[in-house]
Amino acid sequence: MRALLVVNPAATTTSARTRDVLIHALASEMKLEAVTTEYRGHARDLARQAARGEDIDLVVALGGDGTVNEVVNGLLHAGPDPDRLPGLAVVPGGSTNVFARALGLPNHAVEATGALLDALREGRERTVGLGLASGTPGTDDEAVPGRWFTFNAGLGFDAGVVGRVEQHREQGRKSTHALYVRQVVRQLFGEPHRRQGMITLERPGAEPVDDLVLSIVSNTCPWTFLGNRPIYASPKASFDTGLDLFGLSRLSTAAVARYGTQLLTSSPERGPRGRHAVSLHDLTEFTLHSKVPLPLQMDGDHLGLRTSVTFTGVRRALRVIV
């Protein structure tokens, strides 16, 4: 087997020594080419080259969710084709690693490498569904190219939090769960549309849902992790179904207290609920429109401001080694 290992040298939880050990372990089982990323988007470019060629059987992403997202978008640059494209394997190296953990992988790079080698020896793999977000025809965002996401996306409040965290990381701050919590509080008090949302959800065959201030699109569950605690915004979300959406129409102090507590105590059987909450399951396609430009995030990557985004759930999009 020929494999390409894409290494993010800035991965939060792996040292240079650990990466060397992992590379040696993988190289003992396959013909391995290891490439260290040098700029934002480099992992996508490397995976795109692997997808275009015919000599790479597997692309291994060593890094956090952002690295995995870039690799996925590179592999799927011409669309999904699980039978032809290289498979994907993930060695988690970020601060949260939602995609890897949702696949059932250990959250430690060395243990995950061992699990990956076992999966390769035993031929274990699955074909997962992914989400695709693109500009909506007939809007100012029509020309925005589509982008794949593996576990979640968001338009509005949560994307604003991601943007705040990225600003701090660009200033040299380390990505930690404490940093995210602080930015949630600051985003909350700085949110101008807490009591009257700007987002409208439209989907075929159903009435629009208006005035959402928060919209979280999930391709799997959990939605995220707070330390080792899984948070379930949409407990039914799965790699084997379409997309799920959780929305809120109000972020008043009382609403934040209620739904924040529900998220912190959520489980695979029970997610947040209430008269200001919207929960939809297994959607194939829908569009989020905003009256004002709002931040958009995918897999924890801030992508700027948008006024309209169309989401599509694509089943059996990519082959993953598990």
In degrees, rounded to 5, the angle at the alpha carbon of residue 303 between the alpha carbons of residues 298 and 305 is: 120
Which residues does 228 contact at the CB level (< 8 Å), separation at least 6? none
Predicted local confidence at residue 157, as pLDDT: 85
Predicted local confidence at residue 186, as pLDDT: 77
Predicted local confidence at residue 146, as pLDDT: 95
Predicted local confidence at residue 253, as pLDDT: 83
Q: Which two tokens stand for residue 288?
A: 């989020």
* Packing angle of the helix pair 157-170, 177-190 (nearest 10 deg): 120
Alpha-carbon span 189 to 247, nearest angstrom? 19
Look at the domain 2-123 and name its fold.
Answer: Rossmann fold (3.40.50)
Residue with tokens 């912190």: 264
Q: Which CATH number applies to 131-316?
A: 2.60.200.40
Are the C-beta atoms of residues 72 and 18 closer than 8 Å to each other? no
Residue 142 CA to its chain's centroid (Å):
22
- Name the pairing type of β-strands 209-212 and 2-7: unpaired
CA distances from 10 to 38, 105, 180, 217 (A): 10, 21, 19, 27
- The ranges assigned to domains in the chain are 2-123, 131-316
Whole-number average pLDDT of the chain = 92
Are the C-beta atoms of residues 163 and 149 closer than 8 Å to each other? no
pLDDT < 70 stretches in the chain: 169, 175, 177, 189, 192-195
Closest CA to 298 of 26, 125, 56, 72: 72
Are the C-beta atoms of residues 247 and 263 closer than 8 Å to each other? no
Note if the bond before 204 is cis, omega within 30 degrees: no
Predicted local confidence at residue 177, as pLDDT: 67
Predicted local confidence at residue 134, as pLDDT: 96
Q: Which two tokens stand for residue 91?
A: 């060695």
Q: Which two tokens stand for residue 131?
A: 């989400």
Residue by residue, DSSP assigns 220-245 as SS-SEEETTEEE-SSTT--TTS-EEE
Sign of the CA dihedral with 69 first, then 72, 74, and 77 last: negative
**Which residue type does 175 have?**
S
Predicted local confidence at residue 194, as pLDDT: 62
Plot region of 316 (φ>0 → left; ψ -120 to 50 → alpha; else → beta): left
Which residues does residue 34 pair with via DSSP β-bridges, in sequence order? Answer: 5
Q: Which two tokens stand for residue 34?
A: 């290891």
